[in-house]
Amino acid sequence: MKENKKLVLPDGSEFYGYSFGADCEKMLELVFNTSPVGYQEIISDPSYTDQAVVMAYPLIGNYGINDDDFETRTPTIGALVVRDYNDEPSNFRSTGTLSSLMKQYNIAGISGVDTRALVRKIRDCGCMNVLLTSAAADKNDALSKLAEYKAPCDAVARVSRKTAEEYKAENEKFRVAAIDFGMKQNIVRSLLACGCSVTVFPWNVTAEQVRACNPDGVFLSNGPGNPTDVREAIALVKSLRGSIPIFGICLGHQIISLAYGAKTYKLKFGHRGGNHPVKNLLTGKIEITSQNHSYAVDENSLAGTGLEVTHINLLDKTIEGLRHKSEPTFSVQYHPESSPGPTDGKYLFDEFIKSMERSR
């Protein structure tokens, strides 16, 4: 079988492989993920919108796709780049193949690629825009397209739900207003398990609309893109801060930081994987965390914001958690709902419950 797809990088290097999923040309940001399992969750995580994800683990597709593990029912990831793709899954839960799902949602895939070399290149050079195209495409034309490409800034608006949705807890203890910037469904499940009925609002909800549902707390979700592009969300937190408990993760963590006056910056190659060690500075414990983000909070910008660092990443010492010294606001950069450890992050939902209890 002849190679029929390739990735063209800005330095002119080309990586050839075989098409699976949707057969289409795409311009995307190239990133990598180190998780050995969880490709269905990665495919359906809205935070990967407009990105081509290089899977560092070589074998992908071997356990298929099932109906229970989606994080969103409309995946928006750009593409998957893998070493070995398996289209004959062996798993009693499997209801279909990864490739068929990718075709359904116009997600491109390329296999047979030297993913080790790609991961090293991203680590050395940083995340970059790439063109996934036909193997026969002219390289000079591809480089011209890359030079002209401007990454979109509306990813959150594209992936967020358009209308509010309600989820009722069986034994309701609290009511939570959750803001959807690209929310993973397991966040809703985690809140319901804590006895929280959840009203999920679109990304651009106003403070008045949030207050109208009389919530006990506000949750800010994960999502794609640059946090400074989501100005409406930053304004929302500014309006609500101090008056109600607020808990944010991932993009929500960054939005909280910006709302309090801190700054964010883009990491060289981001954090994406299921085994990132994070130290809780309040307890001294080390947590195994699931991560997926390109941006981080600048520690040097925290002076005067009232925010203090609660967690740090042990790989590069970046900020992984913050809390306000006097207001009921806290956040983490990682994903406590993703079963890292597998329950290392569950206490954060318990802390949110305690915060709402104190504020009643």
Q: What is the pLDDT of residue 181?
A: 98
Q: Annotated catalytic, 324?
A: no
Q: What stretches of the chain show up as alpha helix (H) in DSSP?
A: 39-43, 98-104, 115-125, 139-148, 155-159, 185-193, 207-212, 231-240, 251-259, 347-359
* Domains with residue ranges and CATH for the chain: 5-151 (3.50.30.20), 156-359 (3.40.50.880)
Beta bridge partners of 53: 31, 80
Q: Annotated catalytic, 335?
A: yes
Whole-model pTM: value is: 0.96
Active-site residue (options: 29, 71, 196, 250):
250
Q: Annotated catalytic, 337?
A: yes
Taking the chain (360 residues) in consecutive chunks of 10 residues, what is each chunk's mean pLDDT? 93 97 97 95 96 98 95 95 97 96 98 98 97 97 96 96 97 97 96 97 98 97 98 98 98 98 98 96 96 97 98 98 98 92 90 96
* Run of H or E including 323: strand 319-324
Active-site residue (options: 29, 287, 320, 337):
337
Residues 6 or more apart whose Cβ sits within 8 Å of residue 106: 22, 24
